[in-house]
């Protein structure tokens, strides 16, 4: 029942005026980019419940983000976790996104982008789910379409993901699918402020995202639902608090449910 109340809240945000009304989702990237010539610092903290034990998996992904121009942005990431009992570094990744289409009107727009991710990881391969953002060595290629109408936004992402052998002798199991099709459908709404008077006003945004993965080689799949609360301070500092819940799965996943706490800070016009 509690999860249903979260679902009914289904919503997203608009960024503050200084960010030119771009969308900011929690579990997926929108087709819009971060402001041009800016740098961003982000820290994502994942606290996931380990199945069949009382263990909490903690994953930390710090990122440095660069808005090269209004169409192109780059993220560099590091992956750290307590999977080996001791908290340690496991790998790194590079993410890039290019917005190739934009139709902007008053209080509305539609944008499309393509993206790619390349990751390396030295952790053990412990589940069938493929995730190059923190677990698997490999790559991901995809596209994003995002629409905005006044305070409501919706975004669809579809991608192809390929897992390779992890480092330190952790070979990818031959009996598991090493390729996946991913999707996410995100929607949300700006709740506060009701009217803008200053870019220093705090923004409150709520959103819901559906996330899924399908393995063409085996037919296995999963579907998750997420709910997020987001605060933006001074149009520059962002705080995300979110929960992810598995709705369906017929594949091995060691810790699908848990919390995400993310802090992000933008430095405008520094490059």
Residues with Cβ within 8 Å of 140's Cβ and at least 6 positions away in sequence, in order, are 115, 116, 117, 132, 133, 159, 160, 161, 162, 182
The pLDDT of residue 20 is 39
Nearest to 232 by CA among 258, 252, 211, 206: 206
Q: pTM for the full model?
A: 0.89
Domain residue spans in the chain? 2-267
The pLDDT of residue 194 is 85
Q: Which residues of the chain fall short of a pLDDT of 70?
A: 1-22
The pLDDT of residue 23 is 75
Condensed to tens digits (0 to 9), the pLDDT of residues 5-15 reads 333 333 333 33
Q: Which two tokens stand for residue 153?
A: 């936004």
The pLDDT of residue 141 is 98
CATH of 2-267, one of 3.20.20.70, 2.40.160.40, 2.40.37.20, 2.40.160.60: 2.40.160.40
The pLDDT of residue 83 is 80
């Amino acid at each position: 029942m509690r999860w249903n109340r979260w679902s009914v809240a289904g919503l997203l945000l608009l960024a503050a005026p200084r960010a030119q009304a771009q969308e900011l989702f929690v579990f997926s990237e929108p087709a819009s980019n971060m402001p041009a010539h800016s740098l961003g610092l982000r820290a994502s903290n994942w606290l996931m419940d380990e199945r069949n034990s009382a263990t909490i998996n903690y994953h930390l992904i710090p990122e440095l983000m660069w808005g090269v121009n209004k169409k192109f942005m780059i993220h560099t990431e590091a992956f750290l976790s307590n999977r080996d009992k001791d908290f340690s570094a496991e790998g790194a990744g590079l993410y890039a996104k290019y917005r190739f289409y934009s139709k902007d009107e008053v209080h509305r727009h539609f944008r499309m982008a393509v993206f790619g991710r390349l990751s390396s990881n030295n952790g053990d391969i412990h589940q069938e789910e493929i995730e190059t953002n923190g677990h698997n060595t490999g790559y991901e290629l995809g596209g994003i379409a995002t629409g905005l109408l006044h305070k409501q936004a919706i975004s669809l992402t579809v991608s192809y993901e390929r897992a390779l052998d992890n480092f330190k002798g952790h070979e990818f199991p031959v009996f598991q699918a090493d390729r996946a099709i991913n999707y996410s459908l995100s929607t949300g709404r700006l709740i506060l402020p009701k009217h803008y008077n200053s870019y220093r006003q705090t923004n409150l945004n709520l959103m819901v995202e559906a996330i899924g993965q399908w393995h063409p080689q085996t037919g296995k799949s999963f579907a998750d639902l997420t709910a997020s609360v987001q605060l933006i301070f001074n149009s520059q500092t962002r705080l995300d608090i979110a929960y992810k819940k598995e709705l369906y799965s017929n594949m091995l996943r060691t810790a699908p449910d848990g919390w995400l706490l993310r802090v992000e800070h933008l430095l405008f016009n520094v490059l």
